[in-house]
Structure 1
């Protein structure tokens, strides 16, 4: 690359110097005109066109491919950057959709958990209420049975006491013959005996 650059510089310098050298040679050989810079010299114009053409050829041959290559590389890097940006944007959109979907799922899961917790609490409350009602009913039934048993026992004891009183009264009646006063007295004694048995 360095050799090519040196060659290019040497050729360009020679091409640029040629008209000046020819002009100097022409001035040395011919008479000098008084017009100066505006004097038309055909042979110098020819060499200027040749020099300009050579410079264009050298630029087209050496510089233009390098410039086109650099422009192509720049265009490719811009295209790659745009492709990467499009890819990143597409990935970001996918991630955003996934994030939104995850948020919707999280909200749905939270609602389901809340609904399940409320349903479980209601179910537990109903179960506890049912158990309490069953326990209260069982306690009432047990108390009622105990009252009935105690009532039956008291009635049985009362019957037994009445039988004993009847037997007692009968045995006393049999032991003696009774008058009306005796009957009254026996009845009072039976009533008194019944009162002491109940206490």
Structure 2
């Protein structure tokens, strides 16, 4: 038969209640005035001390100990949960740290790539601009040279015409209109040819 804490407590209470009566019925309780009374009284006192100590142990084991064990278990569970959470947080922090380091490496690589591309693009643009500027300067020089040549030819033509006019004027004055129109044209052609030869 299995006894629980309440049953044991009841048995102790019954024993504590009826033990003195049983001892008195057997003749052990002659009173403190008898010769054996001191020993009997001391024996009864020790018996009650044992009973009281057993009752205290029983009460502690029945009421106090489960509460203490429960509190200790809950505290142990809380500590274990805190340790588990700390391990989890540390693991997550390590993962985040590795991700951050990887992101920083990727960012440095991307920045270097962008810098290299920008440098190459700047050099290419500088070369292209230099080539375009050189080509534009060349075209400007050629255009200016052509304009100068055109102006030179135009000025030469104007000079030839003025020379012809001056020659005609001078010859007409010298000859005092003694020549015919055909002679004037011939002289003009010769003057033009002579002027062209001089300019070349």
Normalization by structure 2: what TM-score?
A: 0.55
Aligned length: 152
Residue 62 of structure 1 corresponds to: 63
Matched residues in 2 for 1:98 and 1:149: separation? 74
**Structure with more contact order per residue of length (Cα contacts < 8 Å, sep ≥ 6):** 1
1:30 to 32, 36, 45: 32
| Structure 1 residue 151, shift from structure 2 partner | 7.6
Q: 1:99 to 1:158 in 2, by over 3 A?
A: same
Give matches, 1:59-98, under 5 Å: 59-98=60-99
Matched residues in 1 for 2:68 and 2:195: separation? 139
| Structure 1 residue 87, shift from structure 2 partner | 1.6
Structure 1 residue 50 corresponds to structure 2 residue 51 = yes
Give matches, 1:97-136, under 5 Å: 97-136=98-137
| Structure 1 residue 59, shift from structure 2 partner | 1.0
Give matches, 1:143-182, under 5 Å: 143-145=144-146
SS at match of 2:132: helix
| Structure 1 residue 127, shift from structure 2 partner | 0.8
Gaps of 5+ in 1: 1-10, 166-189
Gaps of 5+ in 2: 1-8, 21-27, 162-166, 168-190
Matched residues in 1 for 2:104 and 2:144: separation? 59
Matched residues in 2 for 1:106 and 1:194: separation? 80
Q: 1:134 to 1:66 in 2, by over 3 A?
A: same
Matched residues in 1 for 2:142 and 2:155: separation? 19
Matched residues in 2 for 1:158 and 1:50: separation? 154
Matched residues in 1 for 2:155 and 2:29: separation? 165
Task: Give the root-mean-square deviation of aligned CA atoms.
Answer: 4.5
CA displacement 1:90-116 (0-9 Å, x = unmatched): 222222222222222222222222222
Matched residues in 1 for 2:34 and 2:123: separation? 122
